[in-house]
Amino acid sequence: MFSPYCNNNLHNIVNIKKPVYLTYSFINHWIQIRKKSSVITNKVEVSSMDILTDETQFRALEKSVTPLCRMPYEKQLVLKQQWTNTVCKEVRSRLHNAKTLITLPRVFPISSSPQINEYRNKDEFNFRPGIDGNPKTLGFFVSNPAKENIYCVSAMKLINMKQSHKDIAQVFEAFVRKSELPASYDHMDGGFWRGIIVRSNLKGDKMAIVVANPRGYTNEIMLNEQRRFNDYLKSTNIDIKSLYFHPSLHTRSSKDSTFILVDGDKYIYEDLCGFKFRISPDSFFQINTLAAEVLYKELFKLINLSKTSTLLDLCSGTGTVSIIGSQHVQSCVGIESVAQAVNDAKETAKINNIHNCDFIEGKVETILKQVLDELSMTSDLCAVLNPGRAGVHPKVINAIRNNRLINTLAYVSCKADSPITMKNLVELVINNKKSRPFTLNSIKPVDMFPHTKHCELIFMFKR
As annotated, the active-site residues are: 414, 456
The SS3 of residue 258 is coil
DSSP string covering 95-132, please? HHHTT---PPPEEPPPBPPS--SS--SEEEEEEE-BTT
Stated as kind and residue range, the H or E segment containing 12 is: none
Cα–Cα dist 273/66, whole Å: 27
Stated as kind and residue range, the H or E segment containing 331 is: strand 331-336
CA torsion sign for 98, 99, 101, 104 is positive
- The residue among 166, 179, 167 whose CA lies nearest residue 136 is 179
Cα–Cα dist 129/124, whole Å: 17
Q: Using alpha carbons only, what angle is made at residue 164 by residues 318 and 197, rounded to the nearest 5 degrees?
A: 50
- The residue among 177, 162, 173, 179 whose CA lies nearest residue 138 is 173
Q: How many CB atoms lie within 10 A of CB 343?
A: 17
Task: List CB contacts of 75: < 8 A, sequence separation 6 or more.
Answer: none
Stated as kind and residue range, the H or E segment containing 370 is: helix 364-374
Is there a contact between 52 and 151 (Cβ–Cβ < 8 Å)?
A: yes
Q: Using alpha carbons only, what angle is made at residue 280 by residues 278 and 282, rounded to the nearest 5 degrees?
A: 135
- The residue among 53, 49, 63, 45 whose CA lies nearest residue 157 is 63
CA torsion sign for 214, 218, 221, 224 is positive
Cα–Cα dist 426/186, whole Å: 39
Cα–Cα dist 176/182, whole Å: 8
CA torsion sign for 56, 58, 59, 63 is positive
What 8-state DSSP symbol labels residue 390? Answer: G
Total number of residues shown for the chain? 463
Phi-psi region of 14 (alpha: psi -120 to 50; beta: other; left: phi over 0): beta
Task: List CB contacts of 457: < 8 A, sequence separation 6 or more.
Answer: 84, 87, 412, 413, 416, 443, 444, 445, 446
